[in-house]
Amino acid sequence: MTWEDLEALAADGHEIGGHTLDHPDLTSLEQDEARRQVCEDRDVLVARGLSARSFAYPGGAYDAALTAIVRECGYESARAAWGLRNLDQPHRDRRPLTESMPPRDAYAILTPCCLRSTTTVATLRRYVETAERKQGWVPLVFHRVCDDCGGDTPAPSMSATAFSALLEWLASRANTGTVVETVAGVVAG
C-alpha cells in the first residue's frame, strides 16, 4: 500500500497501527533493537498524521519484555495472531470464540486464527454472526490486502475484492446491531 492508500483508509475511519520497521521476530532481537523497531515505526506513522494507537506483533510472537516496549513506545494496545477459535474449523476448536470488551489484557489481545487467502467472505460472515450471538468482540487481522499476493507467503492475505465485499456486508448490518469498531475504540471503552 502507498502512504496515500493508508491515509485514505484512516480518513474513512479505519485504524492504522504499527507492525515494526522490518517485520522481524521481535522475540529473537536484543531489547534495544526491538525497541528501535517498534518505536521508530510508530514515529514514522505519527509523523505521517496517523494516530498509530495499536500494535500487531510480527508473527504473533511476544513476551512480557515486548509488551513493556510496546507500551513505552506509546501504543495503547497490541495483538498477536491467534488465541481465539480457528476461522476455518470453528467446530473443531475449543478456544474462545470472542475476546472480551474491553480485553482482559490490552497488550495481548486475542484474535481468531487464521485468516488466509483461501478464507471466504462467507466464512467471515458466519464467524461474525456467531460472535454476535455470543455478544463478544472479534478483532479481525488483515495482514495483507492484495489481489495477487502470491499465496500465504510471507503472511496471510485477502483479496481486495473479498475485503470490499466483507466491508459492504458489515456496513449493511449496521441496522441489525453489528458494530464495527477500531481496536483503539474498543480498548478505550
Mean pLDDT of 51-72: 94
Share of the chain above pLDDT 90, in %: 41
Highest mean predicted confidence (pLDDT) among 50-54, 93-97, 181-185: 50-54
CATH of the domain at 39: 3.20.20.370
Do 90 and 170 lie in a common domain? Answer: yes
Task: Answer yes or no: do 4 and 62 share one domain.
Answer: yes
Q: What is the pLDDT of residues 89-106, one digit of tens each?
A: 767 778 888 888 888 899
Torsion-angle region of 80 (φ positive above 0: left; ψ -120 to 50: alpha; else: beta) = beta
| Final residue belonging to a domain, choices 57, 75, 93 | 75
Q: Give residue 56's domain range.
A: 1-75
% residues pLDDT > 70 (the chain): 93
Q: Is the same domain home to 91 and 60?
A: no
Residue 76 pLDDT more than 90? yes
Report how far apart, in Å, the C-alpha atoms of 117 and of each of 45, 100, 102, 156, 172 are.
27, 27, 29, 6, 23
pLDDT at residue 163 is higher than 80? yes
Instruction: Look at 48 and 160; give whichever has higher pLDDT.
Output: 48
Tell whether 71 and 93 lie within a shared domain: no
88 with 38, same domain: the answer is no
Q: Where are the alpha helices (DSSP H) in the chain?
A: 3-11, 31-47, 64-72, 121-134, 160-172, 183-188
- Render pLDDT for 103-116 as a digit per residue (tens, 0 to 9): 889 999 998 877 77
Tell me: do 88 and 164 sit in the same domain.
yes
Tell me how many domains the chain contains.
2
